[in-house]
Amino acid sequence: MPTTLPCLWFDRDGLAAAQHYASLFPNSSVTSVSPGPDGSPLVVEFSLDGREHLILNGGPGYALSPAFSIQVLCDGQAEVDR
């Protein structure tokens, strides 16, 4: 079966989002940043606990919405609070 790779569309702040997400989970990091024509981040690859994700800074054409979300299963309130 092919590997699937979730991709989140951001207007322009995808790198900051990926850094934030990676700071919340062990074994997580931003793994690659590909620049766009103007030198700002266009595609951001990041890993959340070993699972790969992408962010595309695609501009205002589509707004980030709860139509796609990354669900995190937690063991209890302490983990939610962390």
User: What is the count of structural domains for the chain?
Assistant: 1
For residue 32, the domain's CATH number is 3.10.180.10
Q: Is residue 33 part of a domain?
A: yes
pLDDT at 82: 81
pLDDT tens-digit readout, 1-58: 456 788 899 999 999 999 999 999 999 999 999 999 999 999 999 999 999 999 999 9
Q: Are 41 and 32 in contact (CB under 8 A)?
A: no
The side-by-side arrangement of strands in the sheet containing 41-48 is 7-10, 51-57, 41-48, 29-35
Q: Is residue 62 part of a domain?
A: yes
pLDDT for residue 80 is more than 80: yes
Q: Is residue 49 part of a domain?
A: yes
pLDDT at 34: 98
What lies within 8 Å, CB to CB, of 24 at 6+ separation is 82
pTM greater than the 0.95 cutoff = no
Q: Are 60 and 66 in contact (CB under 8 A)?
A: no
By residue range, what is the domain housing residue 72?
7-81
pLDDT at 6: 87
Q: Are 33 and 16 in contact (CB under 8 A)?
A: no
Q: Is residue 55 part of a domain?
A: yes
Q: Is residue 2 part of a domain?
A: no
pLDDT at 56: 94
Q: Is residue 11 part of a domain?
A: yes
